[in-house]
Amino acid sequence: MTLAFIPLRGGSKSIPLKNIKPIAGKPLAAWTIEAAAGCPEIDKVIVSTDDAAIAAVANALGNPKIEVIGRSAESASDTASTESAMLEFASTREFDTIILVQATSPLLTSADLSAGIAELARSGADSLLSVVEQKRFTWTRDEAGIATPQNYDPAARPRRQDFSPYYVENGAFYICRREDLLKTRCRLSGRMGLHVMEEKTYYELDEPSDWKIIEGLLLGRHAAAETPAPSLASRAAKIRLFLTDVDGVLTDAGMYYTESGDELKKFNTRDGKGIELMRNAGIKTGIITTENTQIVERRSKKLKMDFLVQGAADKMPALLEIAAKTGCDLSEIAYIGDDLADVPVLKVVGFAACPANAIAEVLEAVHYTCRQNGGEGCVREFAELILSGK
């Protein structure tokens, strides 16, 4: 049996009555209780509390999975650890797996819990925690105030997309086995796995300043859910202009050189055919790239593309200029890119796509992720998707 365990104290120093204070239209605790109850892999949701008002809120949710239990004064004190409440419960109940869920992370979803349970099983780990991925340069200072970088060399500062990420606990949930909890008296032990959640879930509700941030994120998520996103077919049907990046999209991002130092690029003929098919369907085509090479110019001419903008470190001005020349609204433009320079464009066009091996920031910004990698037919795949909507 898999249980979710949600410890909720009545006392809160920083935010009075925090666990039942309304946020984005419902009591704080209701967000995580409902997320746990909505997870099909969780058999029962245990709400452990010392407060009658919190118990009433949990019971009022009316879900048969929810069970409210009492909590001793010792495990609910200001100085008590969360483990003390978990151990108090685990010592009297039989179950296999316990998922500690914390109400201070209301952005948690049922899908996150399902994914965490699946990851624990897949990895063979003994316990698991939720985290967010960070790519930040961290520093420390000694007693004299002298700073030292912890995770990079300032003399060889990496690009963000090349920077190895690290992971930060977001406090949303932890999974462990009952026997391990009782043996180690800790929520995490043995081999530990990670479930990576959205970056915005970095925020926890600890201080009053956190409240407005998280409430805004909850309201934004609710509004997005209430407003159905246009389907891929409806986006495709509007497209009058198709634009693409080069390196990592039309090519595999490899850098090839002859012995004499001449640069080479490998293009995919299927991608060329996709551009031809769009042109035959009356869709204007073009390239916007940060590079500036004769190779790209020749490829553009061979494909009879309508627009070529090279050396565009900032691609937005080029996008807007082409849009003005064609009389296209941004909603009528499709763009495919794979790297950071493409993100601003991808976020404003009507149909945004990327190769399967694009960087994380691009994957988050697009409407469609191709099955094919850059230089391996992703443009043809996107072209066919657009044409299918016509």
The alpha-helical segments, DSSP class H, found in the chain are 28-37, 52-60, 82-90, 110-123, 178-184, 208-226, 232-237, 269-280, 294-302, 315-326, 343-346, 360-365, 378-388
Does the annotation count 371 as an active-site position? no
| 232 neighbors 389 (Cβ within 8 angstroms) | yes
Task: Provide the Cα torsion 339, 227, 385, 348; round to 10°.
Answer: -40
C-beta of residue 117 within 8 angstroms of C-beta of residue 175 = yes
* List 157, 191, 298, 371, catalytic entry: 157
Residues 352, 367 contacting (CB under 8 angstroms): yes
Burial 341-380, CB ≥16 within 10 A → b, else e:
bbbebbebbbbbbbbebbbebbeebbbbebebbbbbbbbb
Distance separating alpha carbons of residues 132 and 124, to the nearest angstrom: 21
CB contact at 8 A, 99 and 5: yes
How many residues does the structure list for the chain? 390
Question: For residues 12 and 19, is the Cβ–Cβ distance under 8 A?
Answer: yes
- What is the signed CA dihedral for 23, 26, 27, 32, rounded to 10 degrees? -90
Active site members: 157
